[in-house]
Amino acid sequence: MTDLLSLQMRFDLPLNLAKILALLNENVVVTAEMIEQEHALAKHAKVALHRLRHRLEGTGIEIKSRRDVGYWLTKVGKDKLADQSLDHGDSEPAV
């Protein structure tokens, strides 16, 4: 399971968006119903995903979607999350 605190810190995300990102990372496809009702992470999945996409700009993590299917992370995005979870972020960023 993706560590929520590390997602929050690395991408400067509020808890609900970090949970959505973790949900996307753990599942092949995530539906709006899963976000809104099953996990109660947001009242409007479309708005939450828009905010998450905005916060992830420039990271190389891309969220794709298709009407009547749902939302998913690209393989590159999942790989980047996996690489970043290996780095525990214990060190300060280089200046």
Give bridge partners of residue 30 from the DSSP assignment. Answer: 71
Cα 63 from Cα 35, distance rounded (Å) = 14
Contact 20, 35 (CB under 8 A): yes
Average pLDDT over residues 8-35: 94
Tell whether the model's pLDDT for residue 3 goes beyond 70.
yes
Residue 89 has pLDDT above 70, yes or no: no
- Assigned CATH topology for domain 4-86: Arc Repressor Mutant, subunit A (1.10.10)
Q: What is the pLDDT of residues 24-74, one digit of tens each?
A: 999 999 999 999 998 888 899 999 999 999 999 999 999 999 999 999 999
pTM for the model:
0.83
H or E stretch including 56?
helix 45-56
Q: How many CB atoms lie within 10 A of CB 52?
A: 22
Smallest CA-to-CA distance from 11 within 69, 51, 68 is with 51
Contact 8, 18 (CB under 8 A): yes
